[in-house]
């Protein structure tokens, strides 16, 4: 495997939105991992914290004056955020022809199912941790989600 092959693999992993890739071919072992930038904001004092993780070699990172990536900056206007407990595929309904479990503006109760995350062919229900109103759904149906990624904002 030549360096150009490795560079093409890195580009393909990045273009597909993957966060990790591992290849073993005989004596060759290649592992590529990309960390995401996390942004946390709180209402009131409007405190923001961002963690800048280096991108793949050859990639440029765009940042705002406060150090945040403009494409990934999600301002979380409440401390009531339901986050993904695992990596997988998010589904907003129990089947393709069913209505979504919840949408923005819906009133929810603690323990109510908000969505499903499929991981390793297992369907994991995501339950609401709060009583309130869904302020925003932060992911789309069939989006791949990461551990700890905000899914819903509740007020």
Statement to judge: residues 105 and 153 lie in one domain:
yes
Return the number of other C-beta atoms located less than 10 Å from residue 103's C-beta.
11
Clarify whether residues 154 and 86 are in a common domain.
yes
Which range, 2-11, 58-67, 127-136, is most confident?
127-136
pLDDT at 47: 41
Position 135 pLDDT exceeds 50: yes
> And the tokens for 24?
């073993």
pLDDT tens digits along 52-109: 444 444 444 444 444 444 444 444 445 789 999 999 999 999 888 999 999 989 999 9
Identify whether residues 51 and 100 lie together within a single domain: no
pLDDT at position 131 is: 92
Domain containing 23 equals: 3-33
Confidence at residue 34, expressed as pLDDT on a 0 to 100 scale? 65
Element containing residue 142 per DSSP (H, E):
none
114 shares its domain with 152: yes
Q: What is the pLDDT of residues 38-56, one digit of tens each?
A: 444 444 444 444 444 444 4
Distance CA 51, CA 68 (A): 8
Residue 74, both tokens: 């999600």
Q: Does the pLDDT of residue 3 top 80, yes or no?
A: no
Same domain, 16 and 54: no
Asked if residue 7 has pLDDT above 60, the reply is yes
% the chain with pLDDT above 90: 38
Residue 152 and residue 98 share a domain: yes
Tokens of 25: 């071919």
On whether both 103 and 69 belong to a single domain, the answer is: no
> In terms of domains, do 7 and 17 share one?
yes
Residues 119 and 155 in one domain: yes
Helix (H) or strand (E) holding 5: helix 3-15
Q: What is the longest distance spanned by two Cα atoms in the chain?
A: 56
* Same domain assignment for residues 123 and 134: yes
pTM of the model: 0.51
- For 119-144, what is the mean pLDDT? 91
Q: 59 pairs with which residues across the strands? A: none
How far is it, in rounded angstroms, from Cα 15 to Cα 9? 10
Q: In the 8-state DSSP scheme, what is residue 74? A: -
What does 105-122 look like in DSSP terms, one character per residue?
Answer: T-EE-TT-EEEEEEETTE
Domains in the chain, number:
3
On whether both 59 and 84 belong to a single domain, the answer is no
Quick one: tokens of 97?
Answer: 């022809």
């Amino acid at each position: 495997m030549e360096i150009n092959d490795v560079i093409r693999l890195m580009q393909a992993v990045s273009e597909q939105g993957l966060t990790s890739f591992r290849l073993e071919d005989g004596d060759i072992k290649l592992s590529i991992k990309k960390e995401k930038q996390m942004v946390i904001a709180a209402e009131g004092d409007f405190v923001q914290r961002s963690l800048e993780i280096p991108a793949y070699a050859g990639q440029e990172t765009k940042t705002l004056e406060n150090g945040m990536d403009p494409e990934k900056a999600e301002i979380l206007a409440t401390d009531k955020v339901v986050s993904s407990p695992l990596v997988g595929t998010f589904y907003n309904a129990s089947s393709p022809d069913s209505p979504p479990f919840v949408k923005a503006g819906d009133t929810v109760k603690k323990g109510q199912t908000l969505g499903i995350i499929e991981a390793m062919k297992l369907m994991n229900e995501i339950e609401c941790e709060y009583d309130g109103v869904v302020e925003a759904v932060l992911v789309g149906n069939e989006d791949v989600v990461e551990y700890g990624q905000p899914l819903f904002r509740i007020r």
